């Protein structure tokens, strides 16, 4: 008899569950509608006053047996889930999101492709220092089949007394040397003025970690007609990196390469902590190519081969490596730059020599 009673009551509960489920999802649909209207009108999703008002109405009507606190607690959970729903929809609607574009974006630079089948190598010194230096590095890179030459002409240095880069002269001589070897130039810009100046010399604009959330600069490169290599800020989440890319994409520049370059943690045996999970996550969440800077993330040469292998195994579309003909006298990042032999053996170890030579 008792069991039968329980069974009967459970049936009633199941029925109520079905009704609750239907009501919850109906409620969620209305929440989504509100979310879309709010988005169109640039209004924040979260409205604490409205939420408070809703809880007050509910507790006024509450006749138990649930206490007011429990009712507020339960509806807070519903409100939280609703907010997430609105945010998720927005995230899925980002132009850089995988939902918006299923196929991988390929960055085409002349006859080269980033984000294609073959991982690319972007290599060169931390900073452009002299013609001799650039020539020595570029000729070896070229011999190994590397097509992308990096080098900073505008350097974001922590101390204002450290070497700040050669500026326009650095860009000019890097372009000259790159042209001699048929290479492409990747170089950082930190302001709208530098962007304008670099336009003439550079094939890919780099936005450094420190400027990942320089929104005005992001808008400027968003208007540019050349690809952008966007580095993750060392305190930035992947969501923030995606939103930074959205700034560029939304302005019309769809040629964006994301770069994981390590984040700040308590660990001090590496310069930064390389977040390798960023690679597969970004590839899932966005359609943009993702590369890994194995030099700035680790800050050390002795683990560069396994780290590079790991980055490629995780699905990276390429690597960035700092290479100098004489690292001992480099004017910045001296201890993390590979010398020419070390770089050649890295390329060998990765089996990239032939691949980069045959083009992408």
318 in Cβ contact with 289 (< 8 Å) = yes
Q: Name the minimum Å distance from CB 336 to Mn ion.
A: 7
User: Cα–chain-centroid distance for residue 38?
Assistant: 27
Q: How many whole angstroms separate alpha carbon 194 and alpha carbon 220?
A: 11
| Identity of the residue, 72 or 212, whose beta carbon is nearer to ligand PEP in the bound complex | 212
Strand partners, 114: 107
- Identify what 114 binds: ligand PEP, Mn ion, none; CB under 5 to 8 Å per kind: none
Element (H, E) at 79: helix 68-92
- Identify what 271 binds: ligand PEP, Mn ion, none; CB under 5 to 8 Å per kind: none
* 186 is a site residue for Mn ion (CB under 5 A): no
Q: Is the dihedral of CA 153, 327, 312, 351 positive or negative?
A: positive
Residue 320: closest CA among 240, 198, 229: 229
Of 112, 126, 229, 307, the residue at the interface with Mn ion (CB under 5 A) is: 126
| Identity of the residue, 36 or 210, whose beta carbon is nearer to ligand PEP in the bound complex | 210
Residue 294: closest CA among 273, 313, 264, 315: 273
Give residues with Cβ within 8 angstroms of 58, minimum separation 6: 71, 72, 75
* SS3 at position 214: coil
Q: Name the minimum Å distance from CB 314 to Mn ion.
A: 22
Q: Name the minimum Å distance from CB 261 to ligand PEP.
A: 4
340 in Cβ contact with 146 (< 8 Å) = no
Q: Which residue is nearest to ligand PEP (CB)?
A: 208
| Identity of the residue, 281 or 334, whose beta carbon is nearer to Mn ion in the bound complex | 334
* 188 is a site residue for Mn ion (CB under 5 A): no
Q: Which residue is nearest to Mn ion (CB)?
A: 126
Contact map string, positions 217 to 256, toward Mn ion, x by CB under 5 A: ----------------------------------------
- Identify what 261 binds: Mn ion, ligand PEP, none; CB under 5 to 8 Å per kind: ligand PEP
| Identity of the residue, 120 or 209, whose beta carbon is nearer to ligand PEP in the bound complex | 209
Under DSSP, the state recorded for 295 is H
| Identity of the residue, 136 or 209, whose beta carbon is nearer to ligand PEP in the bound complex | 209
CA angle 85, 90, 93 (to 5 degrees): 130
The pair of structure tokens assigned to 284 is 């899932």
Q: Name the minimum Å distance from CB 168 to ligand PEP.
A: 17
Q: Name the minimum Å distance from CB 333 to ligand PEP.
A: 8
* 333 is a site residue for Mn ion (CB under 5 A): yes
Question: 3-state DSSP helix/strand/coil percent for the chain, to nearest 5?
Answer: 50, 15, 35
- Identify what 283 binds: ligand PEP, Mn ion, none; CB under 5 to 8 Å per kind: none
Residue 199: closest CA among 211, 210, 209, 185: 185
Q: Name the minimum Å distance from CB 97 to Mn ion.
A: 31
Q: Name the minimum Å distance from CB 152 to ligand PEP.
A: 5
Residue numbers of the site for ligand PEP (CB under 6 A)?
Answer: 126, 152, 156, 188, 208-210, 231, 261, 293, 296
Q: How many whole angstroms separate alpha carbon 284 and alpha carbon 109?
A: 24
Q: Would you tell me which residues interact with Mn ion (CB under 5 A)?
A: 126, 333
């Amino acid at each position: 008899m008792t069991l039968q009673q329980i069974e009967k009551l459970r049936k009633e509960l199941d029925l109520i569950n079905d009704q609750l489920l239907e009501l919850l999802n109906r409620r969620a649909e209305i929440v989504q509608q509100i979310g879309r209207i709010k988005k169109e009108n640039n209004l924040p999703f979260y409205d604490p006053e409205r939420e408070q008002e809703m809880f007050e109405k509910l507790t006024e009507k509450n006749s138990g047996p649930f206490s007011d606190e429990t009712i507020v607690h339960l509806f807070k959970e519903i409100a939280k889930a609703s907010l997430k729903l609105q945010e998720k929809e927005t995230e899925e609607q980002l132009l850089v999101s995988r939902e918006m574009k299923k196929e991988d974006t390929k960055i085409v630079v002349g006859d080269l492709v980033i984000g294609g089948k073959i991982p690319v190598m972007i290599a060169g010194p931390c900073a452009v220092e002299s013609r001799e230096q650039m020539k020595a590095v570029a000729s070896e890179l070229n011999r190994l089949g590397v097509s992308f030459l990096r080098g900073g002409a505008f350097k974001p240095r922590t101390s204002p007394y450290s070497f700040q880069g050669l500026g326009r002269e650095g860009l000019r001589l890097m372009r000259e040397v790159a042209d001699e070897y048929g290479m492409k130039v990747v170089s950082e810009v930190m302001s709208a003025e530098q962007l304008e100046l670099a336009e003439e010399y550079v094939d890919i604009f780099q936005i450094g970690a420190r400027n990942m959330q320089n929104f005005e600069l992001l808008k400027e490169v968003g208007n540019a007609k050349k690809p952008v290599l966007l580095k993750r800020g060392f305190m930035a989440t992947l969501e923030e990196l995606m939103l930074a890319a959205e700034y560029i994409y939304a302005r019309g520049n769809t040629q964006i390469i994301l770069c994981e370059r390590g984040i700040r943690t308590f660990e001090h045996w590496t310069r930064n902590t390389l977040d390798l999970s960023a690679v597969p996550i970004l590839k899932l969440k966005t359609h943009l190519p993702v590369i890994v800077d194995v030099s700035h993330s680790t800050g050390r040469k002795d683990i560069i081969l396994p780290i590079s292998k790991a980055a490629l195994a995780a699905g990276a579309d390429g690597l960035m490596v700092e290479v100098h003909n004489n690292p001992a006298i480099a004017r910045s990042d001296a201890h993390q730059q590979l010398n020419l032999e070390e770089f050649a053996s890295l390329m060998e170890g990765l089996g990239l020599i032939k691949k980069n030579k045959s083009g992408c």
